Amino acid sequence: MTDRRLGSALLGSVGLFLAAYALAVAWYPGGTWFDRHSVGYDLLRNFVCDLTQPIALDGRPNPIGAFFGKASMLALDAGLSFAFLGALRLGTPTRALARTVRVAAAVSFAGIATVPLTPSLVLGALHTVAVLTGVIAGLFAGSFALALLRRSPFRRISALGVSVFVVSFADAGIYAWSILSGTTPLALPMLQRVALVLLVLWLAAIGWALFNRARLVR
């Protein structure tokens, strides 16, 4: 696959995520982990995973919204994998490093892809394992991707990626603490939303760089 096609695939994944996410939000009946009777989707208090639930947190059926919610997560998951592969193209990795990133990216993809298939209200333990597996493997692959971008002509993309991983590390830490403590702090969904926005921007930046690489490196 050429750089241009990989960039197109990455940008397409981002576009598909945004479209499916918007539809999932529009169809979500209501309810958060803080208020089961709230109406609609709360961008500050709902988690992204809430959109994948076949039964919303307020108890109402959510079959259409759950379909789009799962589609959005799978699209984002694919985009993240494309981004890791794209970082290998934009940088100059050793053969061992490239293999390590590909393996970690595959584990991350499998973990995140399992998240929408294991609703937290039905398969809570498996959902937690899927989230932590996907996030930890993704952060591992991403740290190497950032190092590669840092030493490439695309340093600004690396700087944006650092902000993604700082927020994601903080959110993952709070998530692990919430599992152990049995509480759900409001900071958790709020940080997740910030991380999501930064991640989408980072993916789009890598996709754009791949798509226009020949022109940008002149």
Report the pLDDT averaged over residues 146-151. Answer: 84
Least confident of 3-12, 79-88, 115-124: 115-124
> Considering the chain, what is the average pLDDT of its residues?
87
* Residues counted in the chain: 218
Write the pLDDT tens digit of every residue in 167-216: 988 888 888 888 888 888 888 999 999 999 999 999 999 999 998 865 65
Give 129's contacts (C-beta < 8 A, 6+ positions apart). Answer: none
Residue 9, pLDDT score: 94
CA 188, 26, 20, 58 dihedral sign is: positive
Query: Burial, 43: exposed, middle or buried (Cβ in 10 Å; 0-12, 13-18, 19+)?
Result: exposed
CATH number of the domain where residue 184 is located: 1.20.1070
- The answer to whether 15 and 204 have CB atoms below 8 angstroms apart is no
How many domains is the chain built from? 1
Q: For residue 158, give both structure tokens.
A: 């690396």
Write the pLDDT tens digit of every residue in 39-54: 899 998 999 989 988 9
Q: Which of 85-89, 106-110, 143-147, 194-198 has the highest mean pLDDT?
A: 194-198
**Does the pLDDT at position 124 exceed 80?**
no
Residue 198: give the domain boundaries. Answer: 3-216
